[in-house]
Structures are given as structure tokens and as C-alpha cells.
Amino acid sequence: MPKQWLLIVFMLLGLGWSTIPPTRAALPVAVQGQPLPSLADMVERVVPAVVNITTATRIRMVENPLLSDPFFSRFFNLPQMEREKMQQSLGSGVIVDAAKGLVITNYHVINKADSISVTLGDGRTVQGKRVGMDQETDVGLIQIPSQGLKAVPLGNSDTLRVGDFVVAIGNPFGLGQTVTSGIISALGRKGLGIEGYEDFIQTDASINPGNSGGALVNLAGELIGINTAILAQGGGNVGIGFAIPVNMAQRIIVQLVQYGEVRRGLLGIKTQDLTKELASAFDITQRQGAVVTQIIPGSAADKAGLHSGDVVLSANGRPIQNSASLRNLIGLSMVGERIPVEFLRDGKHRKVTIEVTEPRTKRIDGEHLDSRFQGSVLEKLEDGEPNQPIMVISVQPNSTAWQAGLREGDLILSVNRQLVRSFEELAAVVKKNRREMLLNIQRGQEGFFILVR
């Protein structure tokens, strides 16, 4: 026998190859007497708390595309010929309170649903009802019958570190419960334009369409995040997924259970990031914080004594890295909550306690501004940012505003190509041209024009 073959035979015998059945091609159960590590026990405990969500939405369809234009149908006095179709979508959810049957998921999974079906780990399918939703954080809460449920224990997302091992559980592509693993790639991801309040956990654990609302857990089987988004042009996993920290989700759940919505408060300040250049200009060594650039007169911050130029270092006991982190903290605080704020003024540390107040809003019937807004209610936040647009709060079906194309939640950015940031500005612009009104509308992530005559 050639020498090289003898060498291979001796190597295989030395590894114990001769004792392994030739038909088996699997990893050994142990190496040098030690069992191989496995996540199976932890996964078995958590999987029953992760559910699959199927939603159905009625979509109204117009038989003739021309009839979708309200001007065309009114001009020719044509009846509306509509039919409906049901659109289904898939997602995931996590049982966070077994006794009450509370399941947390994403806002975008359930916000348009006319019916919600929840498939449990034991194969049962039950109907869910919405408890509340918050678009700004992409959190939704539904309730299902509480019989035989198991909740996942909640972890502490504030103690996470980059490099921690995590496991994602959900329903990708409607395949059913699927488990993937990875590590925490980054913490505190902001500025992605995915949600209004962003403080994402980034992970390389595979997250795909259908995983939305599923669980991100640590190796102890504790929920640390709610899977919400992926960063990929083709919609598939490329190792960059995002989850909402469970501590943020918990604060949202409390308000959704109590009010069915999140009632955000304000301090009445505007801030910007503390940069190296600003720190030098203020003659301070601090490198993280939020610089107060404006105080809204009469606001809670004004009454507490904050001034423009103050540098906020911490709020409610949590360090403030930048303007976004302060906005997130205040935006997730409840109205009436008293928040200790530490800040620098003239190089000296100071502390105040500020009570989060409810935003002051001004509402008006659209018809009072112009007859073409008949049937709509408009709102402007009085103590918010001056450049914040006017919002359409409600529109009565088949009213003048409805037929013009306005819908609840629309933001009016401009009228006749002029920015309008107050009811007075809006009334002045439409008064100049009574014949037609060109509205620039933002609806969700889309922007478009509506021509009203």
C-alpha cells in the first residue's frame, strides 16, 4: 500500500473513525467527554410565547380607474362602482402578559387590519383585538383569550453590550416559527428614518419579512427587544436587523393599556447636539449632551428656569448623549411625570425638576378657513416646533374635503407653493386665490400634490 494511504488510515484510526457507523454524518454529542453547547432548552421555553399573526384588510377597488378621480366622477355625475378585496399580511408577536392575554407586536403589522388571527405555539388559532398602537415607535398591542398562554420573561435592555449573543424568533415569509442567532452589533441606533422615536438594537441575527413583531431574546431566554426592521434593498436579510429595546416597549405598553394610545408630553425646549466646537465655545470639557437652543415661553422648561445655552447632561437619571436621546426620553415619558434634569450653565453643574406637560394644541373646523376644507378638522401644535406643519385630524366621508382627497393624518406642507405653519398663514394664502388651491400633502412616508378647485 502506498505510504500516503497508510498515513491517512492511521490518522482516521487515531480519530476513532473506525468506531463511527459509516451511514452517520453528524457532529458528535460530546468532545473529550464534554457535551456540545446547545440553545435548544432555552428555545423550547421561549417559543410558546412567540405567536404568528395573520391580518386581513379590506381594500376598496374602483371598477373604472377614471372613477377614482373625484373631479371626473362629479363632473359626469357617475355613481361610485366599488368592490372590495381582502389583503392578507403576516407578522409575529410576543405574549408579554399571559393572565391578560396581551401580545406585543409592531404597529405596521396591525394598523390597517380589519381582522387579526393569532396562531399559538400549540397550533391553536384565536382572534385578536387591538388594545392600542403607537406609530412613532412602531409598537402595537393586541389581546387574545388568556387560556393556556405562556409569557416570555422580560429582560433589561439597558444592560446590553455590543457582542452579547442574541436569538431572534419569528415567522419569516410565513414559514412558521423560525429561530436564528447572532450577536448585538450596535446599540442606540438613531436617524434611520424608520420611526419617529428611534433607539434601535442592531443585530446580525437573521431577520426577514414576517419576523416583524417577533422576539429578540438573550441566552437566558429573556425578551430584550421586538424585531421591527431590516436594512436591505431587496427586502431580505443581509445581517443588519433592528429591534425596539424592551425597556422602551414596556413604557409604551403601560400607556396603550391605560389609554389605548401614547399621550406624549413636552418640556418646551429645542436642542441640538453638543459638538466639539460648541464645547470649546462654551469652555467646557463635556463632549456629550444636548444644547438648549430655544425655550418655549410659558412651557414647563421655562417655568423650571432652563435657559438657552444650557447643556443638558442627564434626565431622569439617564445620561444624555445628544439631542435625539433627550427627545426619545421625553417622548416616552408620561404627562405629569416629574423628571430631574442635570445641566451645565457657565461651566457649573445645576439641577432642576421639570414636570412633563401635555402639548397645547389648537384645533379648528376646516370650513372656518375655507369652504373647500368643509368636513375636516385641522390641528396645530402651539408649543411645538414653529416649522411643524398643520395636521388633518379628521375628515368626514363624502364631505368636500374628503372628495378633494384629504384624509385623516395628512400633513399640509404648503398651499399654492407657499409654506404654511399656522392657521393665519393658511387662511391668508387661500384668500389670495379663490379659484384653485394646490396642496402639498405628506401622508405617511409619501408626499404628493392635490389640486382643489
- Say if CB 286 and CB 279 are below 8 A apart: yes
Coil, helix or strand for 247?
helix
Q: How far is CA 142 from CA 33, 214, 383, in A?
A: 48, 14, 33
CB atoms within 10 A of CB 221: 20
Q: How far is CA 368 from CA 24, 377, 439, in A?
A: 80, 10, 17
So which residues are the catalytic ones? 108, 138, 212
Name the β-bridge partners of 88: 56
Q: How far is CA 33 from CA 19, 29, 30, 39, 273, in A?
A: 16, 9, 6, 19, 55
Rounded to 5 degrees, φ, ψ at 267 are -95, -25
Q: Please tell me the distance from the alpha carbon of residue 246 to that of residue 225, in angstroms, as a whole number.
A: 5
Q: Please tell me the distance from the alpha carbon of residue 395 to that of residue 409, in angstroms, as a whole number.
A: 9
Q: Please tell me the distance from the alpha carbon of residue 108 to that of residue 254, in angstroms, as a whole number.
A: 19
